[in-house]
Amino acid sequence: MAVEERSVPTIRWDKKTHPLVGAYAMRDGNRWTVLVVSRKLDGLHDGVDFGDGTTPVTLRLPFQAARSITLHQLTGDPRQSNREKMRIQPQRREIAAEALANGVFVINAATGASPKGLPPGSVFFYVFEAKAL
């Protein structure tokens, strides 16, 4: 599935511009999975202040409504690892199907994120069971 990213935060490093948020989509019939990844962390990095590291994200999907929405995410501090102790854990939660309205889905507190959007260093898999296309 093609994803069009219209506006994402970037950082200039090693003479290249790198996106700090990525989105990827997969489809199997009426089941759509959208992976949203934040490579952005809070604080000052290479002279750029990223504040609290949160990124507002709005998804515009090719279907208007969903029967169900499930969020699979990794929880924990993105600066940690599981090498010595299980700090990063997978989590699954149901999201209200009404969070998708007229094909628009906003990542916020109601959809499993923070009130301001996608948390820093996060990995979110949203699985949408779409109503008729």
The verdict on residue 4 lying in a domain is no
| pLDDT range class, residue 28, cuts 50, 70, 90 | very high
Instruction: Give whole-number Cα distances, 92 to 25, 73, 83, in Å.
Output: 18, 7, 22
The verdict on residue 65 lying in a domain is yes
Number of structural domains (the chain) is: 1
| pLDDT range class, residue 123, cuts 50, 70, 90 | very high
pLDDT at 5 over 80: no
pLDDT (tens digit per residue) in 75-91: 888 888 899 999 999 99
Query: Which one-letter DSSP state was computed for residue 114?
Result: B
The verdict on residue 72 lying in a domain is yes
The verdict on residue 2 lying in a domain is no
More confident residue, 14 or 36: 36
The answer to which of 36-45, 84-93, 110-119, 120-129 has the lowest mean pLDDT is 36-45
Cβ within 8 Å of residue 61, ≥6 positions away: 32, 34, 100, 103, 104, 105, 128, 130
What is the domain-level CATH number for residue 43?
Answer: 2.60.40.1180
The verdict on residue 8 lying in a domain is no
Q: 117 lies in which domain range? A: 13-130
DSSP code string of 29-85: TTEEEEEEEE---SSEETTEE-TT--B-EEEE-SSS-EEEEEEEEEES-TT--SSSS
The verdict on residue 34 lying in a domain is yes
The verdict on residue 1 lying in a domain is no
The verdict on residue 66 lying in a domain is yes
pLDDT (tens digit per residue) in 33-66: 999 999 998 888 777 788 898 999 999 999 999 9
- Token pair belonging to 21: 């948020």
| pLDDT range class, residue 133, cuts 50, 70, 90 | low
